[in-house]
């Protein structure tokens, strides 16, 4: 079995446990929660506070309260002793309580002095530190903080009884009420003698700090703290966290958790120190070397530790403290396994053979784990796996690792040279399967190329496959070994059709400026882009199969259609377009012609000599020129090589009837009448003129072609200023008829 060190990811185990601080007969400690063992309390005392960690000494009038350690103890070692506690005064009446005192007495009575005696035992012998807060002797010297040594004596306010040289009482400001004030007393002496003790006291974190002298008559002393209330002056006075610590205290020690079959761990001293070791309480030969605990078997071992203090007069050894070290039984971790081959995923059954563990944790080395006692596990594939079993009881851990090698791969896979090809292309195959023969039976390999039921190959590595028809083909490899296990793997091969591109145009020859229609025919499967290009320099047209395009400049132009495919090669189809020139024809400017006047000839001076030119006039004539004798619009079209150009001329009537557009019948001899004048060479045979006002009423009518015309009157009445409408019908002597109509303005 191969063991590994207990480095656990799942379990949380502390390497050390904190030993008891100091036994009560050495540390003399009252703290939360309060341990009352070995202590005596007065009947007035009660416990208060959120954790019952406050000791109320007095709170009523005429009351004495105290707490002291009930057996005299040797508390002075080496060079000093430290006393610490907190005090709080509440609900003060008429100045508050008398005060409190801490005392260290070699002898004491069972009577405790009332006000103003501060609850100090009567007829005491020993040292007292006192805080006298109420002024009983009317000397205005309170509060008093002082140091006294009594030899079968009592404290009296205003008396100097018990004062030693340098121990003058000190006058101080009133102690703050309602808050916890820390008190710290340090007794220091030289050479271990109790007759030369220096006291350093601090109250309220600096409210009063002083140094005095005391005589301690015995190494075995009673110690305690007391308080009192008077009849008219009383308050609630509480203390908490009282400790009396002789130096040197046993060092704070962290005891290691020890487990069998594992490397022993050392003791640890978080606060430093200079520890010495003993085999038992009565051993007089200290050792500076910590003992080594035998961890071969589970057992309980006691050792003793003390502090060593080097003073000016030599070496002092503090009180001893027993350390009980337990060697716990480590778990004995062991497991076995059996393997069942599967189809690419073997199952391993694990048997837990461990002892002395309560919690187990399996790590299978493949990223999975479990915390059951026994299990089986399916490994996804072949390979080597480091399987770790870890176990834990209340104190100790152990683990074991075994390497499991799985050699039964069954993974079917293959690669192909391309998953998309062009029609008439080929694909090659690379078998990447991980499959082994089993039970002496060769592995069976079957390839199906997706083309037909009969198109299969029985081989591990098939030949290349040609695909002659477009489409989507599933290539499938099916494998069976001798267990038997069967699995398959597929890949899709896409075969794009061979590229095809063509286009038609309605005309191959067009005239300049005419549009021609194009229609493309392409293979759209696998098509990425379709582009038309033109050699006339006009912009390309993309992704359109039908459109119209005009050519403005004569010439012969290439039109190309290019199809670009994702797999197959690009393909281009080209045709030419002939653009012929449109012939130019330019007839004379528009003119006028008198009715039946002398005619004139109009013709094409540009193309008349071109034998390929063919003409068609609006009169039906087909020559290059015609003679015009009448007014009207005449159009000529010339056609050369199938392209035609046209022009026209307008001949207006003139020299027939001169019709004014306004007249002013004011008798000045100018334009007094409205009447047309004959400008034609022909004589008028018939004539009729009518004039209408804006209401359609005939205001003038005549058939006399030689008359004077309308004078602007109707029935002798002058007609108003405005626009009037006329109609004129004329028949000439040659029989021709003319009609005229229009507007004339009558001016006044």
Average pLDDT of the residues in 621-628: 91
**What pLDDT shows up at residue 738?**
77
Q: What's the CA gap between 444 and 662, in Å, rounded?
A: 117
Rounded to 5 degrees, φ, ψ at 24 are -60, -30
Please determine, for residue 20, whether its predicted confidence score (pLDDT) is greater than 50: no
Q: What's the CA gap between 723 and 589, in Å, rounded?
A: 34
Please determine, for residue 177, whether its predicted confidence score (pLDDT) is greater than 60: yes
pLDDT tens per residue across span 697-735: 999 999 988 888 999 999 989 999 999 999 988 887 767
The residues with which 475 forms a beta bridge, in sequence order, are 491
Q: What's the CA gap between 595 and 734, in Å, rounded?
A: 11
Q: 689 or 172, which is more confident?
A: 689
Q: 636 or 319, which is more confident?
A: 636
C-beta separation of 511 from 579 below 8 A: yes
Q: What angle do CA 100, 101, 102 make, to 5 degrees?
A: 140
Average pLDDT of the residues in 475-483: 93
C-beta separation of 699 from 714 below 8 A: yes
Q: What's the CA gap between 693 and 697, in Å, rounded?
A: 6
Q: 555 or 247, which is more confident?
A: 555
Q: What's the CA gap between 202 and 196, in Å, rounded?
A: 20
C-beta separation of 145 from 210 below 8 A: yes
Cα 62 from chain centroid (whole Å): 72
pLDDT band at residue 216 using 50, 70 and 90 as cut-offs: low
C-beta separation of 193 from 187 below 8 A: no
Q: Which of 184-193, 324-333, 562-571 has the lowest mean pLDDT?
A: 184-193
Please determine, for residue 16, whether its predicted confidence score (pLDDT) is greater than 50: no
What the block records as the tokens of 134 is: 């109420």
In this chain, the answer to whether the domains covering 24-246 and 410-496 adopt an identical fold is: no
Q: 25 or 743, which is more confident?
A: 743
Q: What's the CA gap between 585 and 639, in Å, rounded?
A: 10
| Best CA proximity match to 642, nearest among 707, 685, 596, 580 | 580
Fold that domain 656-746 belongs to in CATH: Immunoglobulin-like (2.60.40)
pLDDT band at residue 172 using 50, 70 and 90 as cut-offs: low
Please determine, for residue 13, whether its predicted confidence score (pLDDT) is greater than 50: no
**What pLDDT shows up at residue 700?**
95
**What pLDDT shows up at residue 2?**
33
Neighbour-count burial for 132-153, b at 16+ CB within 10 Å, e otherwise? bbbbeeeeeebbbbbbbbbeeb
- Taking the model in full, what pTM does it have? 0.41
Please determine, for residue 380, whether its predicted confidence score (pLDDT) is greater than 90: no
Q: Which of 162-176, 290-304, 341-355 has the lowest mean pLDDT?
A: 162-176
Going from N- to C-terminal start, the domains of the chain cover: 1-10+252-408, 24-246, 410-496, 501-580, 591-653, 656-746
> Options 2.40.160.40, 3.40.50.720, 2.60.120.200, 2.40.50.100; which CATH number does 24-246 get?
2.60.120.200
Question: What mean pLDDT, rounded, does the chain reach?
Answer: 85
Provide the percentage of residues in the chain whose pLDDT is more than 70.
88
CATH hierarchy code of domain 1-10+252-408:
2.60.40.10
Average pLDDT of the residues in 77-89: 83
pLDDT band at residue 516 using 50, 70 and 90 as cut-offs: very high
> Options 3.30.70.980, 2.60.120.340, 3.30.160.270, 2.60.40.10; which CATH number does 501-580 get?
2.60.40.10
Q: Which helix (H) or strand (E) holds 24?
A: helix 24-27
Cα dihedral value 408, 409, 410, 414, nearest 10? -160
From residue 76, how far is each of 72, 190, 211, 283 by CA, in Å? 12, 12, 19, 21
Q: What's the CA gap between 703 and 706, in Å, rounded?
A: 9
Cβ neighbour number for residue 244 with a 10 Å cutoff: 24
In angstroms, the first-to-last Cα distance of the chain is: 141
**What pLDDT shows up at residue 646?**
93
pLDDT band at residue 286 using 50, 70 and 90 as cut-offs: confident
What the block records as the tokens of 128 is: 């007292």
For 410-496, which CATH superfamily applies? Immunoglobulins (2.60.40.10)
């Amino acid at each position: 079995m191969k063991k590994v060190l207990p480095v656990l990811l799942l379990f949380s185990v502390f390497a050390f446990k904190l030993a008891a601080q100091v036994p009560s007969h050495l540390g003399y400690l009252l703290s939360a929660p309060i341990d009352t063992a070995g202590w005596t309390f007065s009947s007035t005392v009660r416990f208060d506070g959120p954790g019952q960690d406050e000791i109320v000494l007095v709170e009523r009038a005429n009351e004495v309260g105290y707490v002291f350690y009930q057996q005299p103890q040797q508390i002075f070692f080496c060079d000093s002793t430290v006393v610490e506690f907190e005090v709080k005064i509440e609900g003060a009446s008429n100045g508050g309580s008398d005060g409190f005192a801490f005392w260290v007495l070699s002898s004491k009575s069972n009577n405790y002095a009332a006000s103003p005696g501060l609850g100090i035992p009567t007829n005491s012998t020993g040292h007292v530190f006192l805080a006298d807060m109420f002024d009983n002797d009317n000397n205005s010297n309170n509060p008093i903080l002082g140091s006294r040594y009594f030899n079968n004596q009592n404290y009296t306010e205003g008396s100097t009884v018990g004062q030693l040289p340098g121990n003058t009482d000190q006058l101080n400001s009133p102690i703050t009420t309602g808050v916890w004030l820390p008190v710290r007393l340090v007794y220091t002496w030289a050479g271990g003698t109790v007759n030369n003790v220096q006291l350093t006291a601090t109250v309220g974190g600096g409210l009063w700090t002083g140094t005095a002298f005391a005589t301690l008559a015995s190494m075995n002393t009673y110690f305690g703290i007391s308080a009192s209330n008077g009849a008219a002056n009383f308050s609630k006075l509480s203390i908490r966290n009282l400790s009396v610590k002789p130096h040197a205290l046993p060092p704070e020690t962290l005891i290691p958790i020890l487990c069998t079959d594992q490397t022993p761990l050392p003791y640890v001293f978080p606060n430093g120190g200079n520890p010495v070791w003993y085999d038992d309480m009565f051993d007089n030969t200290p050792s500076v070397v910590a003992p080594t605990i035998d961890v071969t078997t589970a057992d309980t071992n006691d050792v003793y530790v003390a502090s060593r203090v080097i003073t000016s007069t030599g070496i002092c050894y503090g009180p001893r403290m027993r350390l009980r070290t337990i060697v716990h039984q480590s778990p004995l971790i062991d497991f076995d396994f059996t393997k069942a081959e599967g189809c690419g995923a073997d199952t391993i059954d694990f048997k837990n053979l461990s002892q002395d563990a309560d919690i187990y944790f399996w790590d299978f080395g493949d990223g999975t784990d479990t915390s059951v006692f026994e299990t089986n596990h399916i490994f996804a594939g072949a390979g080597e796996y480091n399987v770790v079993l870890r176990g834990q009881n209340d104190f100790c851990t152990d683990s074991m690792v075994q390497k499991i090698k799985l050699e039964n791969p069954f993974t079917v896979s293959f690669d192909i040279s391309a998953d998309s090809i062009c029609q008439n292309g080929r694909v090659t195959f690379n078998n990447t399967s991980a499959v082994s023969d089993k039970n002496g039976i060769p592995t069976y390999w079957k390839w199906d190329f997706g083309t037909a039921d009969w198109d299969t190959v029985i081989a591990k590595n098939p030949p290349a496959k040609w695909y002659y028809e477009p489409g989507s083909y599933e290539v499938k490899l099916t494998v069976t070994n001798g267990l038997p296990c069967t699995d398959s793997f597929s890949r899709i091969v896409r075969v794009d059709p061979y590229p095809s591109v063509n286009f038609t145009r309605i005309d191959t020859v067009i005239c300049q400026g005419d549009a021609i229609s194009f229609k493309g025919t392409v293979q759209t499967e696998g098509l990425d882009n379709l582009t038309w290009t033109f050699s006339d320099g006009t912009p390309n047209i993309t992704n359109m199969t039908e459109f119209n395009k005009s050519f403005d400049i004569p010439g012969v132009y290439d039109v190309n259609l290019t199809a670009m495919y994702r797999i197959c090669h690009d393909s281009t189809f080209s045709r030419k377009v002939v653009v012929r020139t449109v012939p130019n024809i330019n007839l004379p400017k528009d003119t006028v012609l008198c009715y039946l006047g002398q005619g004139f000839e109009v013709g094409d001076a540009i193309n008349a000599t071109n034998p390929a030119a063919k003409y068609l006039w609006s009169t039906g004539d087909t020559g290059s020129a015609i003679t015009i004798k009448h007014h009207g619009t005449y159009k000529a079209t010339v056609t050369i090589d199938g392209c035609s150009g046209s022009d026209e001329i307008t001949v207006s009537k003139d020299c027939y009837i001169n019709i004014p557009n306004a007249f002013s019948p004011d008798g000045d001899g100018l334009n007094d009448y409205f009447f047309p004048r004959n400008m034609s060479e022909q004589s008028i045979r018939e004539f009729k003129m009518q004039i209408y006002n804006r209401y359609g009423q005939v205001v003038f009518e005549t058939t006399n072609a030689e008359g004077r015309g309308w004078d602007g009157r109707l029935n002798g009445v002058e007609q108003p200023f405005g626009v009037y409408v006329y109609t004129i019908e004329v028949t000439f002597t040659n029989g021709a008829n003319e009609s005229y109509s229009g507007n004339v303005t009558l001016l006044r």
